[in-house]
Amino acid sequence: MQMRILIDINHPAHVHYFRNFARIMREKGHETLFVSRNKEMAQRLLTLYNIPYMDRGKGRNGRIGKFMYLIYADYQLYKISLAFNPDLYLNFLHPYPSQVATLLGKPSLVFSDTEHASLHHKLTVPFATKVYTPSCYKLDLGEKQVRFNSFMELSYLHPSYYTPDPSILELLKVQADEKYVIIRFVSWAAAHDFDHTGMSAENKLKAVRELSKLAKVFITSEGALPTKLEQYRISIPVDKMHDAIYYSSLVFGESATMASEAAVLGTPAIFMDNDGRGYTDEEERKYGLVFNFTESETDQQKAIAKAMSILKENNGRQKYKSLRNKLLENCIDTTQFMVNEVLSYQ
């Protein structure tokens, strides 16, 4: 039976999670429809990968704004669903597809790796058919939860789908043996980021100043940067970021996703967040590829010191790529797992 699958995108990372799945399913004769929130680079990425999509508008900030958008997004997805008539809904943890799927009596499969997204859990899990989480996920979500032994980032950075392109070094104007660092700052505007502050402006400046002594520094930031740091902002095509991560000596910052991307690519990562993640904890505990810190002043200083010590290692590249091989040996192909699960609903 040919399936019609609606894939809803709420964040740029979700494009990567599901793009290989969609290609494989289309090759098998099934039909997919992407619906995307207009957030940051999500729709740019869909266009870049030649994936047609329907727009469900921009989200809103603040608790009241997000509640109003919930109603709006549900209505938009409901209208789209009546026209497309999907057999199944697929998304990463956010409520709209599961709520509409329940209304229409269709199965909804949800992936999640973010334990502290408590509001999304409350609005999504009761409506989902199944919720898939990495085996290291710290919460018990009940009978709907299915654990898999891998990470979300291996849905697109597994060697089956990703091969690093060394031409990124020319774009960045760095030599093959030259060390460079990617620093990532986030906006802290997501629903699960309320009450977070991230690094202080003073420590952002300090991190760049100190790391610049040992390596070239590139910054990727969701929001505005202090004027003194704007000169470090990375300027490369959006589809080249994973190549930049692969060849870098270190990823440093506030993004769990980017820290995990670094880990599965064999690049050490410093991650700062008060809540932490089960997957970055495991990437530290089991593989030594991520180093987790809180947002406290003390931990910000420790994170900078740890970054410096990593950059001073002599055999760093060989060491961390070897640890990556261990990770790949222990983990399954996340995309193939998705395909198998969805096909069980045929």
The answer on 245 and 97 residing in a single domain is no
Could you tell me if 61 and 116 lie in one domain?
Answer: yes
Do 18 and 72 lie in a common domain? yes
Do 56 and 205 reside in the same domain of the chain? no
Task: Tell whether 141 and 172 lie within a shared domain.
Answer: no
Whether residues 212 and 143 share a domain: the answer is no
45: tokens are: 């990425």
Question: What CATH number corresponds to the domain at position 145?
Answer: 3.40.50.2000
Say if strands 250-253 and 216-221 run parallel, antiparallel, or are unpaired. unpaired
Task: Give the contacts of 323 (CB within 8 A, at least 6 positions apart).
Answer: 266, 287, 288, 289
Within-domain flag for 105: yes
Q: Is residue 12 part of a domain?
A: yes
Residue 199 falls inside a structural domain: yes
CB atoms under 10 Å from CB of 246, counted, come to: 22
* Spatial separation of the C-alpha atoms in residues 248 and 166, rounded to whole Å: 11
Split into its structural domains, the chain has a count of 2
- Please say whether the beta carbons of 88 and 31 come within 8 A: no
- Residue 162 counted as domain residue: no
| N-terminal to C-terminal alpha carbon distance within the chain | 6
**DSSP label at 51?**
-
CA 151 to chain centre: 10
Along the 346 residues of the chain, how does pLDDT read in single tens digits? 899 999 999 989 999 999 999 999 999 999 999 999 987 789 999 999 999 999 998 877 777 888 788 889 999 999 999 999 999 999 999 999 999 999 999 999 999 999 988 888 999 999 999 999 999 999 999 999 999 999 999 999 999 999 999 999 999 999 999 999 999 998 644 444 444 468 998 999 999 999 999 999 999 987 788 888 999 999 999 899 999 999 999 999 999 999 999 999 999 999 999 999 999 999 999 999 999 999 999 999 999 999 999 999 988 889 999 999 999 999 999 999 999 999 999 9
Which pTM value belongs to this model? 0.93
**297 occurs within a structural domain:** yes
Buried b (16+ CB within 10 A) or exposed e, 172-201: bebeeeebbbbbbbbebebbbbeebebbee
Place of tokens 């608790």: 63
- Same structural domain, 256 and 141: no
Task: Check: CB of residue 174 under 8 Å from CB of residue 180.
Answer: yes
70 in a domain, yes or no? yes
**Does the residue 163 lie in any domain?**
no
Same-domain status, 318 and 198: yes
Range(s) of the domain holding residue 248? 168-330
Residues 86 and 32 reside in one and the same domain: yes
Instruction: Compute the distance between CA of residue 258 and CA of residue 254 in angstroms, rounded to an integer.
Output: 8
Q: Is residue 323 part of a domain?
A: yes
Residues 279, 146 share a domain: no
Same domain, 146 and 186: no
133 and 180 belong to one structural domain: no
